[in-house]
Amino acid sequence: MKIEKYSLGIGDRFGHQGEAQLKAIIRANAAGVAIVPVWNKSNREHSYIHSKPEDTRIEADAAVKALSFGGNYFVDADHINLSNVQGFITASDFFTLDVASKIGTVSSEEEISAFIISCKRYSGILNIPGIHEPFEVSDLLITTIAHKFLAAIGEAGRIYDFIKVQKGAENFVTEVSMDEVEVPQTPVELFFILKMIADQAIPVQTIAPKFTGRFNKGVNYVGDVAQFSREFEEDVLVIDYAVKEFGLPVNLKLSVHSGSDKFSIYPEISRIIKKYDKGIHVKTAGTTWLEEVIGLALAGGEGLGLAKHIYKEALTRQDELCAPYADVIDIRQEELPAATEVDNWSSEKFANTLRHIPGHPDYNPSFRQLIHVGYKIAAECGETYTDLLELHREIIGNCVGENLFDRHLKRLFGLD
């Protein structure tokens, strides 16, 4: 099973926006960019919503059927590990093996020295075609990289084998992710990580390193765009070279996690993948949930009331809601409006505060990030929430579609 050149990870926490999401993909396809949808949901999201991997499969299949979508599509077991992969085996055909927590785990001295010996031909000056400055690869560098990543990639090998035994190697796409860490992986580290992946015989098709800068949930990129661009371009070239050197799948491409709303780096990503004619996978999990809240606010009445309830409740439960996302949000307390203030807001004021239009006078990234992590509150509202999603499906669907197509796909793929 092979994933196409361009793919978009679309998360849908409450499972109601599959069709609206797919419509955005179909619009992009009609505009000449072949993108395949990948419905992704992590174990954490499933546990908060009380949904199951099967629900994501049912939603994806139903959306594809309803819109007579003839293209390929996938269901991603996002950020799985050995302890939770079993529940995803039947429903998923894309698996994101998350080994970030194993980075730095101790490996045996035999494994370390075997890896160092296997890398001898790369020590000294390493020239990667297209990268102007060659990498200086000392034995110390290889040793350091081995200590840092060998155990993690060994774990990826075990997860891959576990899935392979149950599903058969041809029946799924494999991603390896290491993005949920503080320290970015450098291009030269990525090169040796890919060697380890090849040594483990993992047919990796997408790889999600931690890039430089902050990839906060649902808001713009925070960091040095020029530095990101340089490293991203080197990563693309490293992958191209590693594919040839190590015999990895030729369609191997980068996967950008927490990729929604990173508008300032989209032009760079777009430029670089076009320059080298390479593929990309971008995951955009929570941005759709935010559009549900925007749509409810715009609907007014009970919808606006529930949107306000979600914010006010989140405001009082910040510690609990933010803790699991501490590394990927930056909320400024002084930017959060008081509950009494929000009570007086109109539909437009609420929607404009939440909607991500950079430079809009009402747009408030702290407000947006708090609601981003507040989906647990909507889940607690149960049918009160989902009934309103049904009632206002049209207005919400328009928000979801506009967000994915106009704000994301257009910028990512340079569409007009």
Nearest to Zn ion of 146, 208 (CB atom)? 208
Q: Where are the alpha helices (DSSP H) in 300-392?
A: 301-316, 318-322, 339-343, 347-354, 365-372, 375-380, 383-391
Separation of alpha carbons 368 and 355, rounded Å: 8
Contact segment (CB under 5 A) with Zn ion among 18-26, 213-221, 243-251, 253-261 equals 253-261
Separation of alpha carbons 333 and 335, rounded Å: 5
Going residue by residue from 125 to 164, which x/- string records binding to Zn ion, judged by CB under 5 A? ----------------------------------------
Minimum Å gap between C-beta 258 and Zn ion is 6
Separation of alpha carbons 4 and 209, rounded Å: 20
Nearest to Zn ion of 257, 278 (CB atom)? 257
Separation of alpha carbons 24 and 29, rounded Å: 9
Torsion of CA 48, 51, 57, 59, to 10 degrees: -90
Minimum Å gap between C-beta 132 and Zn ion is 31
**Which residue type occupies 80?**
I
Minimum Å gap between C-beta 231 and Zn ion is 18
Nearest to Zn ion of 79, 164 (CB atom)? 79
Nearest to Zn ion of 281, 355 (CB atom)? 281
Pairing, β 94-98 against β 124-126: unpaired
Nearest to Zn ion of 202, 399 (CB atom)? 202
- Joined together, the tokens standing for residue 285 give 């999990």
Minimum Å gap between C-beta 377 and Zn ion is 22
Nearest to Zn ion of 246, 325 (CB atom)? 325
Minimum Å gap between C-beta 350 and Zn ion is 28
**Which residue type occupies 416?**
D
Separation of alpha carbons 85 and 89, rounded Å: 7
Q: 103 — phi, psi (to 5°)?
A: -65, 130
| Contact positions with Zn ion (CB under 5 A) in 173-232 | 179
**Which residue type occupies 85?**
V
Nearest to Zn ion of 59, 179 (CB atom)? 179
Q: 402 — phi, psi (to 5°)?
A: -65, -40
| Contact positions with Zn ion (CB under 5 A) in 21-50 | none
Nearest to Zn ion of 17, 206 (CB atom)? 206
Minimum Å gap between C-beta 78 and Zn ion is 7
Separation of alpha carbons 68 and 15, rounded Å: 19
257 is a contact residue toward Zn ion (CB under 5 A): yes
Q: Are 95 and 76 in contact (CB under 8 A)?
A: yes
Residue whose C-alpha is closest to residue 15's, from 63, 82, 84, 85:
63
- What Rg do the C-alpha atoms of the chain give, in angstroms? 22
Contact segment (CB under 5 A) with Zn ion among 62-70, 186-194, 250-258, 382-390 equals 250-258
Minimum Å gap between C-beta 257 and Zn ion is 3
Minimum Å gap between C-beta 82 and Zn ion is 18
| Contact positions with Zn ion (CB under 5 A) in 47-66 | none
Provide the phi-psi class of 342: left if phi over 0, else alpha when psi is between -120 and 50, else beta. alpha
Minimum Å gap between C-beta 352 and Zn ion is 29
> How many residues at the interface with Zn ion, by CB under 5 A?
2
Helix or strand (DSSP H, E) at 284 = strand 280-284
Q: 218 — phi, psi (to 5°)?
A: 75, 5
Contact segment (CB under 5 A) with Zn ion among 16-24, 239-247, 252-260, 332-340 equals 252-260
Nearest to Zn ion of 209, 303 (CB atom)? 209
Burial class, 195, CB count within 10 angstroms (exposed 0-12 / middle 13-18 / buried 19+): buried
- End-to-end, the C-alpha distance of the chain in Å comes to 32
Minimum Å gap between C-beta 92 and Zn ion is 15
281 is a contact residue toward Zn ion (CB under 5 A): no
Minimum Å gap between C-beta 180 and Zn ion is 6
The residue with its CB nearest to Zn ion is 257
**Which residue type occupies 170?**
E
Pairing, β 135-137 against β 74-80: unpaired
Nearest to Zn ion of 181, 391 (CB atom)? 181
Nearest to Zn ion of 16, 210 (CB atom)? 210
| Contact positions with Zn ion (CB under 5 A) in 79-108 | none
Q: Residue numbers of the site for Zn ion (CB under 5 A)?
A: 179, 257
